[in-house]
Structure 1
Amino acid sequence: MDLIDIGANLGHESFAHDFDAVLARARAAGIVHMVVTGASREGSRQALEIARAQPGFLSATAGVHPHHAVEYTDEADAELRALHRAPEIVAVGECGLDYHRDFSPRPAQRQAFERQLQIAADTGKPLFLHQREAHADFLAILKNFAGRLGPAVVHCFTGTREELHDCLDAGYYIGITGWLCDERRGLHLREMVRDIPADRLMIETDAPYLLPRTVRPLPSHRRNEPMYLRHIVEELAKDRGEAPEITAAAATAAARRFFALP
C-alpha cells in the first residue's frame, strides 16, 4: 500500500531525538508522502524548513491554529503570506475554531479564521481545517467565503453524523485519524465512515497525538508516529467493509489530487 499522511506534526519536540528513524519507519510502513502541519507562526516556519530538507517526501502547511489565534496580528498575516509563496507549502492552515478548550477568546478565533480564509481565497491553495464544538460558527464563516475558496479538508473529524453530512454537503473532504480506534470516544465514527465518499476521504496520524489505542503492542511512550498510518487504514477499511488496499488507494489518490502532489 502506498500511503499519504496528510497531517503529521513533525516539528513537535518529541521527534527531535529520533527524527531520521521516524522517517525511516514511515517509509518502511508504505508511506510515500507526508504533509507537515504548521499550526502557529513559529510552527509554520519550522514545518517549511522540515519539508525543504526532504524534497519529494515531505510538504507542509502554514497557518495559525485557533489555540494560537491571539498571535494573529497584521505582522502574522504578512508572515503567513510570505510563507505561502514557497512551493513546499501546499495548504492554508491548520486554521478554524475550537470552542472545546477556548485557549484563545472566541472573537479572536473567528477573526484569525477569517483572515486565513482570505489567504486561501487570494492564493487558491486548499484549506486544512480544524473544528471542535464550534460547528455552526465554523460553517457560517466558511459560507461567507462561498465561491472564493478551493478545496478544503476537515482535518481529524470527530463530530456527529449530522455534522459529517453538513461538511459533505458543503463539498469538503474528511480527514480520519486514530481517533477512530478509541473505544471511549471514537465508536460513533466507526458507524459513520461508510458515509464518506471514497474520493473525499483522506487519512492522517496527527502525530505525535492520537496514538491508535488498538495498536498492539502499545509503545510504552505512547507517542504516535506516521508508521501507524497503516494501522489506521486497516481499521478504517474494516469499518467501511472493503479491503485495506482499496481504502488506501482511494485515500492516496484523493490526497494527491487535493494537495496537487506529483
Structure 2
Amino acid sequence: MWCDIGVNLFSNQFDSDRVAVIERAALAGVTQLLLIGSDIDESRQNITFCQQHHSCFSTAGVHPHQAANVKPDWLIQLQTLSKQAEVVAIGECGLDFNRDFSSREQQQHVFAEQLQLARQSNKPIYLHERDAFTTQLAMLKEQQISHGVAHCFTGDVLQLKAYLELGLYIGITGWVCDERRGETLQHALRYIPSDRLLLETDAPYLLPRTMQPKPKSRRNEPAYLPVIAQMVAQLTGHTMDELATLTWQNSQRLFGFQPGLSTTYA
C-alpha cells in the first residue's frame, strides 16, 4: 500500500473526474491520500470531500501565494477547520520569495500565525518554501517547530540536513525523476533517513518525466506515485516492497491517520 501525502484534488484540472482519480489511485495501490489546502475555501472543500471518502484526509492552511488575500477573520476560520477530524496537518504554508504573489511581510505574518496554530493544535506543519530558505528556517527555529514535513522538497544536502535537524520529515515528488533539474535532489535523497522519507505526487503538477507512456493530458495523478517510488528505490537501494512499507509507516506516524473518521471534534 502507498500513501500520497500531497494531492491538489480541487485543482480545476480534476473538475471532470475527481472521484475517478481516487478510484484509479486505489487500483494502483495508492490507498490513502492527503489533500492539500492552500486557502480557507479549498481546505473546506477538502474536508467535505474527505467526509464522503474515508481514504482521504486533508491539511488546512493558507499558501504564501494566498497570504495577501486573507479575510480579517481568516485565522478564526482556520482554527475552526483545524479541529475537524479530517484535518491532520496545518498548511500548506510557508514562504515563496520566487514569485512574491503576496508581499514578503504579509507572507511572514500569515506563516507565523500558522506556525503558532500548529503548535497549539499539536498538529504537524505542512511546509512550502521557494527561494526563501534562510528566512523560513529562522522562523521555524524561532517558533521551535519540530513536527512536520517539508512538502515537495527540492533543495540541496545542506538544506535537507537543516530540516532533518529540526525533526522534520521530507516529502519527495516527481521532481526526483527530472533529468534536467533533479540532480541536486537525487544527490540529497541519499541522506534522508528511512524513517523520515515520505512520497507525494503534488498532483496534478510534476508529472514524472520517467513515466512511459505519458498520459495525453500531461496531468499528474496519485495513481502515478509508484513511478516516483521506482526512482527513489533505484537511488536508495530499497526494494519497492521495503519502500512501500517504510513510507506507509512514516505517513501513519507523522499524521496519525485514523481511517473512517468523519465527525467533528467538539
Would you say same fold, with TM above 0.5?
yes
| Residues in 1 aligned to 2:86 and 2:243: alpha-carbon distance in whole angstroms | 26
Aligned pair partner of 2:161 in 158, 165, 179: 165
| Residues in 2 aligned to 1:157 and 1:90: alpha-carbon distance in whole angstroms | 20
Specify the alignment match of 1:85 in structure 2.
83
Letter in 1 for 2:226: R
The equivalences for 1:224-243 within 5 A come to 224-243=220-239
Letter in 2 for 1:145: Q
Q: Does 1:193 align with 2:189?
A: yes
Contact 1:68-1:103 within 8 A present in 2 as well: yes
Q: Identify unmatched segments of 5+ residues in structure 1.
A: none
Structure 1 counterpart SS, 2:32: strand
Q: Taking every aligned residue pair, what percent have the same amino acid on both sides?
A: 43
Letter in 1 for 2:43: S
| Residues in 2 aligned to 1:46 and 1:99: alpha-carbon distance in whole angstroms | 27
Specify the alignment match of 2:264 in structure 1.
none
The equivalences for 1:24-63 within 5 A come to 24-55=23-54, 57-63=55-61
| Residues in 1 aligned to 2:116 and 2:232: alpha-carbon distance in whole angstroms | 34
Contact 2:79-2:117 within 8 A present in 1 as well: yes
TM-score (ref. length: structure 1): 0.96
Deviation at 1:73, TM superposition (A): 4.2
Deviation at 1:20, TM superposition (A): 2.1
TM-score (ref. length: structure 2): 0.94
Q: How big is the alpha-carbon RMSD for the aligned residues of Structure 1 and Structure 2?
A: 1.0
Letter in 2 for 1:92: I
Specify the alignment match of 1:96 in structure 2.
94
Specify the alignment match of 1:9 in structure 2.
8
Specify the alignment match of 2:177 in structure 1.
181
Structure 2 counterpart SS, 1:195: coil
Deviation at 1:214, TM superposition (A): 0.8
Contact 2:37-2:58 within 8 A present in 1 as well: yes
Deviation at 1:150, TM superposition (A): 5.5
Contact 2:146-2:167 within 8 A present in 1 as well: no
Specify the alignment match of 2:247 in structure 1.
251
Specify the alignment match of 1:129 in structure 2.
127
Specify the alignment match of 1:140 in structure 2.
138
Letter in 2 for 1:90: V
